[in-house]
Amino acid sequence: MVASLGLVGLAATAHATPITYSFVSGSAQVTATFAGNTIANGTITLTGSQVTFDTSPKQLTSFVFTAGPTASIPLTGILTGASVVLNSLNIGPGGGYTNFSVTGPASPPGTYNYTVGPVGVSGSATFSGTVSGGPFAFSFPNPTLSGQVQIGASNTLSLNGITLGSVTLPAHGAFPGGVVTFKADLLFTGTPEPGTALLVGAGLVGMVAAARRRSGA
C-alpha cells in the first residue's frame, strides 16, 4: 500500500479539483452465505471502473465498477455440485446519491476512510450443475460502500471497499429458497485521466510559482 500523499493530493487540495482515476486493475472477492453457512467464495476480475475523488472538500464524487463475464465460482454446502457464472456486475451511485462521509488523511499519509450510499448494485448470473438455470437478474436495495482510498506518490489511487446486500431467492432444485447475503471486497487501482492529469500539473506549477513569489525569488 502507498504511504505518501504525493503530488496529485497536493494539487487537488490546493485547487479543490475533483480528479477522475481511470481503471488500471481491480478485482472483487465475492462470498455468499445462506442460513449462516458460506455457499460461495471466489474472486472475479473487474473489467472496468473509474473513481472521482476530491481531497478538498474530501468527497468520493462518483464511482463505477463493472465485471463479467467471469469464470465460474463453485458453490458449497447445500449447493455442493453447483456453480455460478457471473454474467455481469455493475456498481455505482444509487438513486439520490448524496450520502458520503470521507475522513482523513489518516495513517499512513494519503489514506482516507469513507462510507458512501446509497449504492446501486445489479447484474445477472447463470447457475449450472445440481442447480441450473438462468440467467437470473439480481439487484440489492441501497447498500453502502465503505473502505479506504489511498492516493500514491505515483499519482495512483487505490480503493478498497465492501458492498453488502441480501436477496430472497425462490426454491430451485436442491436450494430450498430463502435469503442469501452477498459480500464483495473490492480492490481498485486507477490513474488520473489525461484531462485531470493536466490539471494536476497546472496546480503543481501554480504552487511552485506562488512559493517563489513568497520567497522573493
Contact between residue 110 and residue 2 where contact means Cβ atoms under 8 Å apart: yes
pLDDT in tens, 161-216: 888 888 888 887 778 888 989 888 999 999 998 765 444 444 433 433 444 444 55
Domain ranges of the chain: 6-215
Stated pTM of the model: 0.76
Tens digits of residue pLDDT in 66-84: 998 888 889 888 888 889 8
Architecture label for domain 6-215: Beta Barrel (2.40)
CA distance 172 to 183: 22
Cβ-count burial of 156 within 10 angstroms (0-12 exposed, 13-18 middle, 19+ buried)?
A: middle
170: which DSSP letter? P
Amino acid identity, residue 30?
Answer: V
- Number of DSSP helices (H) and strands (E) in the chain, helices first: 2, 12
Rounded-to-integer distance, Cα 87 and Cα 115, Å: 27
Question: In this structure, what C-alpha cell is assigned to residue 5?
Answer: 500523499
- Contacts of residue 36, Cβ cutoff 8 Å, sequence gap at least 6: none
Cα 19 to its chain centre, rounded Å, is 16
